[in-house]
Structures are given as structure tokens and as C-alpha cells.
Structure 1
Amino acid sequence: MPDSRFFETTEPLSVADAVAIAGARLIHGDPKAFLSHVAALGAAEQGAIVYCEKTGAMAALADKAFGLCFIPEDGEGAAPHHAGAVAVVRQPRLAFALLGARLHRSQTSTQEATVRPPGVHDAAHIAATAEIANDAEIGPGAYIGPGVVIRAGAMIGHDVTITHALIGANVRVLPGARIGQSGFGFVPGPEGLVKVPQLGRVVIGNDVEIGANTTIDRGALEDTIIGDGAKIDNLVQIGHNVRLGRNCVIAAQCGISGSCVIGDGVMMGGQVGLADHLTIGPGAMLAAGSGHMRDVPAGETWGGRPARPVKEWLRETAALAKMAKKRNG
């Protein structure tokens, strides 16, 4: 269930209504049963709407209760018929997005807090339901949205925006950073691209530093997590569902795509790029400007575009230089 501090949930839907909204066909289950929320496949529970895009993923539902699962049309024969309602549809992710938007929306209250800690600037907007530690400092022009939690010793710079987020102790956020904005997720629909609701949070550990104009998107269904002690430079983009380990160092202009898992103590030089769903092992070092399309094992150093182990990259670079020199005379 999306965190009620950040999201409103509407009245439940019947299975029949949900199937109709999605343009799906019910093949199993009670059409009168009620559905209360959307959830990730791994967090399926009673009343939850989930989806599978591949037939093999249905095995994850074998021992779980769920409200309604959308599956692809070619998966009808493999549907789990014992745990909840099942509907077939051409685009399960599109069906899920439509129902997520129907059931959930971000809290939109504009009411401001009437009592502020002494370190909060008068020109900062603090939502009435935000929780701000008494010794936190928040600069002018900052926007702290509904439900946001900011722990002791935090320093939030001017013109920072924080929504859908839990901020740990002694966190420093430099001016212009954006934390908790909607992640980048769309699915093709019959009339164009449809936004996939981003219903997770950003959870930032203790003693983290976040650079100026850096953006950290909230999770789609699960949380985007920044581990204790991480240091993130200016102009870094961190996509939804990323899990950044403890004491990582991320230099300026890095781009980390959604759902990457980055182990403790990883170091990234400037302008490193990561494709989505990669795993970077603990202690790995990624050379500046490298572009990563494969997992990086723990403790290894990789560089280049596309990235590979640094010794391999350097040998190839030297060989190319020799070939060019020989060719040029």
C-alpha cells in the first residue's frame, strides 16, 4: 500500500470495474471482490492489483494472496488459479498504470505549518503535515511537501524541493536539489504514452550529502534508497527504485538509471552513465566518463564506453593508438 503520508487512496474498486477500465478479460476469480491498491509483484497481498509481463513471472504468485493479476494473452494456460482473480490483457503494464492512476494520487494539500523550528527561513514553504526536527535548518525558497520527514541536524539549502521523502539525521542538501519527484516511467497506449504512477518514496540515510541541482526520483512502487554516509556531487541524476549503498561517492554529472543496485563503498568518477537494472558490486570503481551496460563485480575497476575491466580498456586504447600511429605514417 502506498504510504498514506504522501498518497491519497480512493474508494476500492470491484474486480469487474477494474477489468472494464483496463479493457481486459476476466478468466478466473470473483468479479464482485474488491481491490484497494496496486502493488509490486513481490509485495502481492489481499486486495492488491499486480501484473506479470512474462509467463515465467507468474511463479512468484504461487503461494501468495492477491486481488487481481493482469497477465499477457499468451499466458492464460499458466495462470495461477488458486490465489486471486486473473485477467488477460494485451498490455499488462498499461492496465496496471491505468488502475494505479485510478486508485492513488499524491497528497495535494497546500496548507502550511503554523509552527516552525527556529532554523526554518520565513520564505520556505513547509507543509502542515511535514515533520521537521527542531534543530534542522531550511533555506529560503525551499519547498517541503506533505508528509516529508527531516531528522535532526539536517541542513536544507535554498530553493530545494523535497516531496515523498524521509530524510535522515545530519543530511546536507545543497541549493536547487530536487528530491522525491516523479520517476520517468511511461507505457504506450492507444492514444499515446501513458504515465506509470510513481507511488514509492525516497529514503535517505544519515550523514548523506546531496549536491546542488542533483535530482533523486521517488520509487515507482518500491523506494529509492540512499545509504548512510553517501556523498553525491552536483548535477547527478538518480532514477526511481535505485538502491545506493553506504559510503558511496558519486561525482558530478553521473546518471544512474532506474532500479540499479549499487553496493557499499562504490566510487564513480564524473559523467558515469549506468543503464537500468544493473548491479554494481561493493567497492567497485567506475572511471570518469564510462558508460555501463553490464553488471560490475565487487572490487573491480571498469572504464570506457561501453565499460569493461580497466586493464582491458587500457590495452585496447593503447592498441588502437599504435594502429592509428602506424597508419598515419
Structure 2
Amino acid sequence: MKKIVKLSEIKDTLGDLLITTYGPTEDVYIDNLADVQHVNETTLDWVGNNKKNQQVIAEQSPAKVILVSEKVAYTEELKEQKRTLLVVSNPRQALAVIGNAFFLEMGTHEIHPTAIVDPEAKIGKDVYIGPYAVIGKAEVGDNCSISAFVKIYDNVKIGHHCFFKEGAVIGGAGFGFEKDADGNRFRFPQLGKVVIGNYVEVGANSTIDRGALSDTVIGDYTKMDNLCHIAHNNVVGKNCIFTAGSIVSGSCEIGDNTWVGPNSTINNWIKVGADSLIGIGSTVVMKVKDGTKVFGVPAEKVEF
């Protein structure tokens, strides 16, 4: 069954994001979000800021309600079509807000009977822990979702509103070894913690190792895709993106708002400045300054 959402509910949800409204406002509703192939009268359509012909797209849309930027005028044609324009600064952002508010199926707040949670673990309010997940002596904040088969070790601190997809492993021992007098390797003690901020997401089968002597730290709003690895002692800033298959070796510092492309590798002891971009498949072996784009093996500064 489709969900029916009234225009008044949409406007209330947008709040300060909504600049102004043109067209009919009463008895208008939507039942889905529009994509490229599925747009009709009852879907909420949107015209992205990156489109060159925003006016034409809006006028040709069959949707009753359209999210647009201030570049789109409420022309006579749109008036005759009885279209409603919701003017916002960022239509894509507004669409995401509405989609999360009305069309995203939220999981239940429960601990699945097959999950194993240490009695000394501190679990916040409204937390979901899925089938066969294992939680050690860790601290989990409010409104977190921990999917099936996730393993969270002791000495892990997780903030609020975090999401861990299936098979993620958080707080395992880092890959650190020393040699004895005969040259044989033995494990260096991994005694640090993992500290994860708020609104962090970790993809399926991704891993974050605990620190050796210091902590591994992940900043607020950072997102990891599937099959990523963050090694021990890394300090990752806020709002970073690690796309699928990216690897950060030990003791690195990753600045805020950094984007790490698919299958990229950052070597040990590297500092990557804020607002940087690591191109797809790159190997970073030298310091990256703030706001720099690098690409290649070894990665070098590029302009694109």
C-alpha cells in the first residue's frame, strides 16, 4: 500500500528549508518520490541545481508537486497546469529530508533473541541489535542500528544515531607486530580503543581496528561504504566519505570533509588535509595538503 502524504505535511517537514510556495496548496498529496523513469501526478518530483534547463524540466514534469530552486519561475504555463512549486535552495537535499521522514521504513527498536550482548555493555535508548550480532563491553549511544552479524569488541564507544551494516567488525586488534631476538615476529599489544562520533555509518563487512597505544577515532557524520578498512591509531575527521574497498593504513590523520575514492589505499603515517579528494584506485604515499585532489599510483596532485 502506498503512503499518502499531504502537501501541508511536506511543508511542515521542510521547515526553514522552504523558501516559498507557488500554486495550489489545498487537497494536494503525493504517494512516492519520483525518479528518472517513474514520474506521475502523485509523485514528488525535483529539479536538481546542476541541471541547465531547470525551467523546461519543471514545465514538462507531470507531477503535481515539484521541488525547484529559485532559478525556476512560476510561469503562466505552470499556473495553467495547476502545478505546485516548492522553492528551496537545494532540491536534492529537500527530497532526501522528505524521503527519510515519510517513505523510509524504520527498523524496530529491539535486541534480537539471537544477539549476544555483554551484561556490562551500555546500550542507549531506541537501539536495534540484529540477529547474531555480538556486543562486548562497549558503549552504544541512542538511536543506533546494528545489523545482523556485526561484531563490536570491548572498549568501543559509539555515539548517537549510528548505523552498522551486516558483518561490520569494530574494535578488533590491529595488525601490529615486533621481532624477537631471533627475528621471529610476535604481536605488539593492541591496548587502545575505538571512539566513534554521532551519525556515523559503517558498511557491510567493513572493519575499524582499535588503537595500539592510542585510540582509533572516527568523527561525526563520517560514512564508510562496504568492504572498507580503517587500521589502528587512525584519526578521521568529520563528514568524511570512504567509498567501497578503500583502505587507510595505520596511524594516519584524515581531515574533515575528505572523500576517498573506491579501491584507494592510504599508506601508514600519512596526513591528508581537510576538504581533500583521493581519486579512484589511488595509492597515497605522501602528505596531502588541505583542499587538494590527488590521483594515481603513486597519487599526485591533479586538477579536475
Give the letter for the 1:24 counterpart.
T
Q: Are the counterparts in 2 of residues 209 and 231 from structure 1 also a CA contact under 8 Å?
A: yes
Gap change, CA 1:17 and 1:131, over 3 Å in 2: closer
Gap change, CA 1:116 and 1:84, over 3 Å in 2: farther
Report the structure, 1 or 2, having the larger helix content: 1
Give the whole-Å Cα distance in 1 for the aligned partners of 2:275 and 2:118: 38
Query: Deviation of residue 215 (structure 1)?
Result: 2.0
1:249 — aligned with what?
248
1:214 — aligned with what?
217
2:271 — aligned with what?
271
Give the letter for the 1:291 counterpart.
K
Query: Deviation of residue 60 (structure 1)?
Result: 7.8
Higher relative contact order (CA 8 A, sep 6+): 1
Query: Deviation of residue 165 (structure 1)?
Result: 0.7
Q: Secondary structure at the match of 1:18?
A: helix
Give the whole-Å Cα distance in 2 for the aligned partners of 1:230 and 1:87: 41
Q: Find out whether 1:26 has 2:16 as its counterpart.
A: no
2:154 — aligned with what?
157
Q: Are the counterparts in 1 of residues 150 and 169 from structure 2 also a CA contact under 8 Å?
A: yes
Residue pairs, 1:48-63, within 5 angstroms: 48=44, 50=46, 52-53=48-49, 56=52, 58=54
TM-score, structure 2 normalization: 0.61
1:130 — aligned with what?
128
Residue pairs, 1:42-121, within 5 angstroms: 47-48=43-44, 50=46, 52-53=48-49, 56=52, 58=54, 67-72=65-70, 74-76=71-73, 85-88=84-87, 91-92=89-90, 96=94, 103=101, 113=111, 117-121=115-119
Gap change, CA 1:209 and 1:57, over 3 Å in 2: farther
Structure 1 segments of 4+ aligned residues over 6 angstroms from their partners: 36-39, 41-45, 59-64, 77-80
CA deviation vs aligned residue, 1:254-290 (integer Å, no higher than 9, x gap):
12416x25120321543212416x35220331513x2
Give the whole-Å Cα distance in 1 for the aligned partners of 2:46 and 2:31: 12
2:184 — aligned with what?
none
Gap change, CA 1:159 and 1:229, over 3 Å in 2: closer
Q: Are the counterparts in 2 of residues 171 and 206 from structure 1 also a CA contact under 8 Å?
A: yes
Give the letter for the 2:29 counterpart.
F
Gap change, CA 1:239 and 1:48, over 3 Å in 2: farther
Aligned CA RMSD, in angstroms, stands at 5.1
Gap change, CA 1:300 and 1:92, over 3 Å in 2: same
Could you tell me which runs of 5 or more consecutive residues in structure 1 were left unpaired when the two chains were aligned.
Answer: 1-9, 183-200, 303-307, 310-329
1:189 — aligned with what?
none
Q: Are the counterparts in 1 of residues 216 and 235 from structure 2 also a CA contact under 8 Å?
A: yes
Q: Are the counterparts in 1 of residues 140 and 158 from structure 2 also a CA contact under 8 Å?
A: yes
Give the whole-Å Cα distance in 2 for the aligned partners of 1:213 and 1:273: 18
Give the whole-Å Cα distance in 1 for the aligned partners of 2:290 and 2:37: 29
Q: Are the counterparts in 1 of residues 170 and 209 from structure 2 also a CA contact under 8 Å?
A: yes
Q: Are the counterparts in 1 of residues 156 and 171 from structure 2 also a CA contact under 8 Å?
A: no
Give the letter for the 2:271 counterpart.
Q
Q: Find out whether 1:291 has 2:293 as its counterpart.
A: no
1:190 — aligned with what?
none
Q: Are the counterparts in 1 of residues 282 and 297 from structure 2 also a CA contact under 8 Å?
A: yes
TM-score, structure 1 normalization: 0.57
2:189 — aligned with what?
none
Gap change, CA 1:217 and 1:280, over 3 Å in 2: farther
Gap change, CA 1:158 and 1:95, over 3 Å in 2: closer
Give the letter for the 1:32 counterpart.
D
